[in-house]
Chains A and B, each alone.
Chain A
Amino acid sequence: MRHNLHLQIGPASFRIGSAWAAPIRALSALYQDYPQAELPCDFTVRLEPQKPWRRWLRPSVSIAGDYVLPGAAPLPLEHGLLAAEMGMNLQMALGQKRLLLLHAATVERGGRALVMTGESGAGKSTLAALLGESGWRLLGDEFALLDPDTGLLHPFPRAVSLKNGAIAVLEGKVAADRFGPLLVGTPKGHIRHLRPNREAIERAREPARPALILFPRFGADLPEAVRGVGAAEAFVRLTQASTNYGHLGLRGFEALTRLVTQTEARAIDYHQTATALRLVETLWAEDAA
């Protein structure tokens, strides 16, 4: 495809081709400091018109590639950056066969990692982005990649996808040149991508040992609460947070049982980001130290 780009994000490399120049331009600006991709690429993503004439006429981007969701609605060309991000996530979710993929945000301090997993809307991305600006290294806001051979977590520091209210929170803390364009009225509301800081990008191939697993739950009227999560419950919840547990077979079983038997797990309820940040620091001091 005429417009294209290679990207290395943590252990995975992507080849992104586009029928239009704009999405590739936006991607290369957002990912300007990232290292050269290792070839051959693990995954191919294509941004293409759904029908040939939709390249020019009311252009809309449909997401294709090695692994696809054919029924997914195309996005307007202005949201091409989001389409590229979704395309890369999809390849990881459906195509990752080496590392156990957990739908979780991860940060690291002192070589030890905190894993936060929960349904979308639990505030993982926001928490990870904030922690990543305050003494923690951001490993990733979307996927945690557990290496069955080592038991370590690999970073996947793609651009953080900030939604709605979280955008302003981070705009107040981070230099403007690390943000992508504001995408208005996407299927998920307003979205603005944030490039992780230099440390997160430079150490993107440096894994960390898991030390604490949190299952955060956010709700406007949820009272603050902390509860221990037993190994069996953590195991079952993590199999459900993984898109490829079944694909990894015995390697996945061994990796995940080792993770839950060697790592503390807690569920936390919160209704304010500040509360969650405080709980994280307290539990980290108790459990991981």
Chain B
Amino acid sequence: MSEQDESGQHESGAGASRRYVLALGAAAASTVVTIRPALAQTAGSIVNCEIPVPAPQAAGSYIAPDGSVVAPGTPGAFPPASRPLKGEEVKVMLRGGTPPGIDAESSQAYANYIRRLQAGMSGFTCYASLQMPR
């Protein structure tokens, strides 16, 4: 969208009428972006949110069983989740369950990591949404 605003509307030097040029954009372009609430409104928003484990700033770090972020290769700790976890999976994990494709022990370490998320950290919004009273 940022390129759009550069080229979208400018004065046409050629036309004697000094009409504005209005580009209709490409078929796949996006000219309407809706502001999504930082804290989602419903518990159901879980399908739409994801939690990276760990946060991108700590990418590659391992997760200890208590959920803390530790150096890669730390004995007893688990490798980072291979992809961001979906809200629905997180919900299962927070209840002590194991979502498909993740083994039981790392699942609990990830759950502990998520429980420690604080406002402002990647994934907190998703986590908070999961817990929102309805």
Contacts and interface: CB of A to CB of B under 8 A. Distances in A.
Contact, chains A and B (beta carbon distance below 8 A): yes
14 contacts: A69-B128, A69-B131, A71-B115, A72-B131, A119-B121, A121-B121, A187-B68, A187-B115, A188-B116, A219-B57, A232-B5, A239-B38, A243-B39, A245-B35
Contacts of B133: 67-68
A22 to B, nearest CB: 22
A119 B116 contact: no
B74 interface: no
Which of B94, B119, B121 counts the most chain A CB atoms within 10 A?
A: B119
Contacts of B112: 73
Contacts of B115: 71-73, 187
Contacts of B121: 119-121
Interface in A135-188: 142, 187-188
Interface of B, helix, strand, loop or mixed by DSSP? loop
Contacts of A240: 38
A239 B34 CA distance: 11
B120 interface: yes
A89 interface: yes
Given A121-B57, A142-B119, 17 more contacts: A67-B133, A68-B131, A69-B127, A69-B131, A70-B131, A71-B131, A72-B115, A72-B131, A73-B116, A94-B132, A119-B57, A119-B122, A120-B119, A187-B115, A241-B38, A242-B38, A246-B39
Interface residues of B, number: 24
Interface in B100-134: 112, 115-116, 118-122, 127-128, 130-133
Contacts of B12: none
Contacts of A232: 5
A217 B92 CA distance: 34
B80 interface: no
Contacts of B120: 103, 118-120, 241
Interface of B: 5, 35, 37-39, 41, 57, 67-68, 94, 112, 115-116, 118-122, 127-128, 130-133
Contacts of B68: 187
A187 B112 CA distance: 9
The 7 A-B pairs at the shortest CB distance, nearest first, are namely A120-B120, A187-B116, A246-B37, A69-B131, A73-B115, A71-B94, A120-B121
Nearest to B67: A187
A241 B120 CA distance: 7
A142 B119 CA distance: 9
B119 A243 contact: yes
Nearest to B116: A187
Nearest to B90: A71
A236 B35 contact: yes
Nearest to A66: B133
A236 B133 CA distance: 26
Given A121-B57, A187-B67, A89 B38 contact: no
Contacts of A246: 35, 37, 39, 41
Contacts of B128: 69, 93-94
